[in-house]
Structure 1
Amino acid sequence: MIEIIPVETKKQRAEFIDFPHDLYKGDPNYVPELFMGQDDLLNPDKHPFYKHSSAQLFLAYEEHKIVGRIGAFWNVNHNEFNQVNEGQFGFFDSVNDQRVADALFDAAITWIKGKGGDTVVGPINQSTNETCGLLIEGFEMPPVAMMPYNYPYYTALIANFGFAKKVDLRAYDIPTAQASLRSVQLMERLEERLNRSGIRLRLINLKDFKNEAEKIKSVYNKAWDKNLGFVPMTDEEFAYVAKDLKMIVDPRFCIIAEKDNEIVGFAVGIPNINEILINIKRGRLLPTGIFKLLFGKKKIKSLRVMMLGVLEDYRKMGIEACLYGRIIKNAGLYGIERGECSWMLEHNYMMNHAIEQINGRLYKQYRLYEKAI
């Protein structure tokens, strides 16, 4: 018999976070999330998401053993911005048993209905500003930083419950050596043209990070406003994310486009710390994980371009190509062997084409599902 228990205590939250470590034990592509980060994300007393929205976590037990987990989310800001009554499910992990998956989905949907929801969408771990999507293609390699991973059988568990595809999210692999020459040459020609229009590219200034982040936030919330499922970050949410990113961001891979000292576009590439996290047992930094993280950063050979946004009035000018080109050029100079651009909406034809033009290869796909309830 499957028993579903709502997570209410700190101990239960720790068990919720730790369950995937046991489920994926022995899987060479599984990367454990840092416990501290996950605990903060799911703690209503710490994360700013809970100042405007709510969540309920559930654990599935069979014979006193945890066999699955799920989170149900009611994102008030998302619903108001998109004029919908959607709930989201996230943090879904389960043994390969349809009974367990069905019981978890039933619990999440019952909670979302209680909030007034008429649709459920996922997997979304809190919001689209966090990790989201179910891996459906590209199981051969570990995920890069802040991207999800799951067993192939999850697709059947979700589809069998009645979920249907909402949209696919794409990840492109770009080997630096294959992309650099063409993209750098293109970038240099485009930059000359942009310069004549008063648009300049520069590296982010970490010494003035607070002001830089404030300017980037404005562009971020405007540049993504037509993206499916997007919800603008509050000031506190953006500050929370910026604080975390500052610890791993490398200014050589964070490029800003400016006109008249105002940011009109930006790209953020982060070192793929999953190269290190994959070897940190159960996501614990203590006692030895902290040293692996500190000393391993210089050995990272890949990066993820996780954000790229240009204000609508400045699109189709070549700024996007220049941002990518600058990152690729710097990656080649500093020993980065490959990069991932993710995630891209499948119908974002302009950006997908731009990546393919610099030899980006579609190598992973993720899916968001939806179901009327």
Structure 2
Amino acid sequence: MRAQDKGTAVANADLVITPVSGKADLKDFIDLPWAIYADDPNWVPPLKDEVRKLLTPGHNPFHEHAEHCYFLARRGREVTGRISAHIDHLALSMPPEQGMGPGTGNFGLFEAKDAASAAALIGAAEGWLRAQGMSRVLGPISLSIWEEPGLLVKGFDHPPTVMMGHARPVYQEWIQAAGYTPAKTLNTFELDITQDFPPLIQRIVQSGERNERINIRKVDKSRFDSEAAIILSILNDAWDRNWGFVPITDHEVAHFGKELKPIVREDLIRIAELDGEPVAFMMTLPDLNEALAPLNGSLLPFGWAKLLWWLRRPRCRTMRVPLMGVVQRLQSSRMASQLAFMMIEYIRRDAVVEYGSSRGEIGWILDDNQGMVAIAEAIDSRINKSYVIYEKPLG
């Protein structure tokens, strides 16, 4: 389709938007960020094979409950942008007051070299979603809310950690110019983990250690499936009422478990038990991006050996906490905070001693999640990156 089709007015008559079709188009879609971020020292190139799996049904279980269309923008032979339009049918079944709900589609994987390409791509994504019966757009979300949600709007001066996105500062202007307004802000918090926590937090941890009802344990990788099931059960209960929540399927749990297993360390994931019952968990991951950055998206010719060596015993500056949860019946209680502080402290100690880490990153955290924001602030962490999910009604 020409850029001006479907109501998208663009001055560049030679700009063409087409759906991705075939291996060559998919390669162009995957390769584009290398041109976009060629001069950006804070962009971390992903492994191209992993991106291909993310986008391909049969390799990513997200596609089992979703449908999609990928678009490319071109001027002649030059690829000038890309975008995905997708519908998560599990998200459609969620209550509208939690951010998703009936009629809500998404765009994501957005990259563009210029404003005209950006406008045309967003218009194409909206046109496809409208044709599928959608009445509202949330984005960027790439592809699942559990993967890389939101557009980076603060923190361009340092690289993202594992499973977090990066973007050009100008994207905010282009998305807002297309009629989008902020729906929700997601923040990450950073802290110096070589320093002891404030005395009050230390006393809370020590009090918990004297409480015979509490047990904070490491996960057991020899029982990987059962441990994953425990974490999933707590996660689905803890996050069920959160904005943007979409249930994770059993197949997705198995898939993510397999993908993350090489960087999962028993001492970096803790489960909190109260009276013998698992009631909270905290997952911490070594920042794989520190190992990926020099590989430039490929394991060949020697990248696989470098990565394998790193995975055997990760030594990294940063540890990221992507997930933490406490069952709903304990939320807003002193016990919930105490369990959180205990898990954070135990993992902090091991991260410094066993992995040589000096920096922690917690998030993302919704800006209105008062409980988690309070925990982050209590351990002297500060916001280092902010991501915005935008929304727009489809008329």
| TM-score after normalising by structure 1 | 0.95
More deviation in 64-73 or 298-307? 298-307
**Residue 92 (structure 2) pairs with residue 76 (structure 1):** no
Quick one: which of 300, 307, 310 aligns to 1:286? 300
Quick one: which of 320, 329, 343 aligns to 1:304? 320
Structure 1 351/179 Cα, relative in aligned 2: closer, same or farther at 3 Å?
A: farther
Aligned residues: 369
More deviation in 102-111 or 10-19? 10-19
**Residue 30 (structure 2) pairs with residue 17 (structure 1):** yes
**Matched residue type, 2:375:** A
3-state SS in 2 of match to 1:303: strand
CA distance in structure 2 between the aligned counterparts of 1:269 and 1:191, rounded to whole angstroms: 21
Check conservation: 2:351, 2:357, Cα contact below 8 A.
Answer: yes
Quick one: which of 103, 108, 124 aligns to 1:85? 103
Quick one: which of 302, 310, 314 aligns to 2:330? 314
**Matched residue type, 1:343:** W
CA distance in structure 2 between the aligned counterparts of 1:159 and 1:223, rounded to whole angstroms: 33
Check conservation: 1:255, 1:267, Cα contact below 8 A.
Answer: yes
Q: Specify the alignment match of 1:270 in structure 2.
A: 285
Quick one: which of 330, 334, 349 aligns to 1:329? 349
CA distance in structure 1 between the aligned counterparts of 2:260 and 2:384, rounded to whole angstroms: 25
Check conservation: 1:255, 1:323, Cα contact below 8 A.
Answer: yes
RMSD of equivalent CA atoms? 1.6
More deviation in 330-339 or 257-266? 257-266
3-state SS in 1 of match to 2:80: strand
**Matched residue type, 1:301:** R
CA distance in structure 1 between the aligned counterparts of 2:170 and 2:391, rounded to whole angstroms: 18
Shift of 1:90: 0.6
Check conservation: 1:179, 1:359, Cα contact below 8 A.
Answer: no
Q: Specify the alignment match of 2:9 in structure 1.
A: none
Unaligned stretches of 5+ residues in structure 1? none
CA distance in structure 2 between the aligned counterparts of 1:157 and 1:223, rounded to whole angstroms: 35
Q: Specify the alignment match of 1:30 in structure 2.
A: 43
Shift of 1:251: 1.5
CA distance in structure 2 between the aligned counterparts of 1:264 and 1:8, rounded to whole angstroms: 47
**Matched residue type, 2:226:** N
| TM-score after normalising by structure 2 | 0.90
**Matched residue type, 2:370:** Y
**Residue 378 (structure 2) pairs with residue 364 (structure 1):** no
**Matched residue type, 1:178:** Q
Shift of 1:253: 1.1
The correspondence of residues 31-46 of structure 1 with structure 2, limited to 5 A, is 31-46=44-59
Quick one: which of 136, 140, 148 aligns to 1:131? 148
Shift of 1:280: 0.9
Unaligned stretches of 5+ residues in structure 2? 1-13, 96-100
The correspondence of residues 93-112 of structure 1 with structure 2, limited to 5 A, is 93-95=111-113, 97-112=114-129
**Matched residue type, 2:304:** I
CA distance in structure 2 between the aligned counterparts of 1:61 and 1:185, rounded to whole angstroms: 57
Q: Specify the alignment match of 2:194 in structure 1.
A: 177
CA distance in structure 2 between the aligned counterparts of 1:184 and 1:18, rounded to whole angstroms: 46
CA distance in structure 2 between the aligned counterparts of 1:164 and 1:343, rounded to whole angstroms: 20
CA distance in structure 1 between the aligned counterparts of 2:243 and 2:50, rounded to whole angstroms: 26
Shift of 1:261: 4.2
Check conservation: 2:201, 2:341, Cα contact below 8 A.
Answer: no
CA distance in structure 1 between the aligned counterparts of 2:158 and 2:263, rounded to whole angstroms: 22
Shift of 1:284: 1.1
The correspondence of residues 93-242 of structure 1 with structure 2, limited to 5 A, is 93-95=111-113, 97-180=114-197, 182=199, 185-186=202-203, 188-192=205-209, 195-196=211-212, 198-242=213-257
Q: Specify the alignment match of 1:343 in structure 2.
A: 364
**Matched residue type, 2:310:** G
Shift of 1:332: 2.4
Shift of 1:84: 2.5
Which contiguous aligned blocks of 4+ residues in structure 1 show a shift greater than 4 angstroms?
179-184
Shift of 1:179: 4.4
CA deviations on 1:113-148 (whole Å, 9 max, x unpaired) are 111111100110122111111111111100000000
3-state SS in 1 of match to 2:195: helix
CA distance in structure 2 between the aligned counterparts of 1:109 and 1:261, rounded to whole angstroms: 50
Structure 1 218/6 Cα, relative in aligned 2: closer, same or farther at 3 Å?
A: same
3-state SS in 1 of match to 2:159: coil
CA deviations on 1:190-233 (whole Å, 9 max, x unpaired) are 4236x33x231100111111110111111111111111111001
Structure 1 276/65 Cα, relative in aligned 2: closer, same or farther at 3 Å?
A: same
Check conservation: 1:70, 1:90, Cα contact below 8 A.
Answer: yes
Shift of 1:184: 6.8
Percent identity between matched residues is 36
Shift of 1:181: 6.2
